[in-house]
Amino acid sequence: MPDYHDDLRLGHVLADAADAATMERFKALDLKVETKPDMTPVSEADKAAEELIRGQLQRARPRDAVLGEEFGSEGTGPRRWIIDPIDGTKNYVRGVPVWATLIALMERGESGDRPVVGIVSAPALNRRWWAADGLGAFTGRSLTSATRLQVSQVGRIQDASFAYSSLTGWEERGKLPGFLDLSRDCWRTRGYGDFWPYMMIAEGSVDICAEPELSLWDMAACAVVVKEAGGQFTGLDGKPGPHSGNAAASNGLLHEDLLGYLGDSPR
């Protein structure tokens, strides 16, 4: 089995650098914000953090490819770093502390690319989560000061806590009735959004979550953390991993139930 300890250590170094850059500009009165062609915001901090991570990767892993939200794809090869410099930019620009830098390493295998290392760093919350294939998932402030993560053992939808991002995407997908049914049937719903519900699934404080439209950089790091904590991460089509353009994540026990409400197959 490949040893990802060095990649995980590098991921923490990258996250430390990004945290310093993003926190320096968080809540800055002169923060520059632009609107991208897809009508989503991008701040100067998004761009600076991604440039910083790319620069360090170029020095430390010059043979690896990179895909980032702000500057696209660079390089080829069986190893590719996936970067979302600020997941939750809308929160960031409004001063809401729920945002994170997502860093993942994907590796090509017989069944395609899969995430093998993931770091999710949320400095405004003073939290960080990480995982590597076969090594488990953890939370803490450093590799030497960490707590291992484990998903919940909730086995009934009626007892489940369900997290989501918004309603509009489900309506556009034609899945709003299933979403509302799930909301009525489960124990609790909360609209945490972005990276956070996936990390709470890994911690065992949330049991199911789903989002109808996502990019690879939104999911790659989260997917490996959820999986290594004992959970399940698929698309709404049930295919494992972060490749479907949307996500369904759970403690594993409730995954089929979740897909029954929101999945692409008819109920």
Position 1 scores a pLDDT of: 66
Position 267 scores a pLDDT of: 44
d(CA 50, CA 71): 8
Question: For residue 88, what is the enclosing H or E element?
Answer: none
d(CA 220, CA 249): 12
**Is the separation of the CB atoms in 117 and 104 below 8 Å?**
yes
Tens-place pLDDT, residues 187-218: 999 998 899 999 999 999 999 999 999 999 99
**Is the separation of the CB atoms in 1 and 132 below 8 Å?**
no
pLDDT confidence band for 265 (50 / 70 / 90): low
**Is the separation of the CB atoms in 44 and 31 below 8 Å?**
yes
Could you give the angle at which helices 176-185 and 255-262 cross, rounded to 10 degrees?
A: 140
CA 8 to the chain's CA centroid: 16
pTM: 0.94
Tens-place pLDDT, residues 25-80: 898 888 888 887 777 788 899 999 999 999 999 999 999 999 999 999 999 889 99
Position 36 scores a pLDDT of: 77
Rg (CA), the chain: 18
Query: What is the length of the chain?
Result: 267
Tens-place pLDDT, residues 229-256: 999 999 999 999 999 999 999 999 999 9
d(CA 15, CA 9): 10
Tens-place pLDDT, residues 58-73: 999 999 999 999 999 9
Question: Shortest CA distance to 82 belongs to which of 176, 14, 19, 35?
Answer: 14
Position 111 scores a pLDDT of: 77
**Is the separation of the CB atoms in 89 and 42 below 8 Å?**
yes
d(CA 146, CA 128): 10
d(CA 103, CA 56): 13
Position 29 scores a pLDDT of: 84
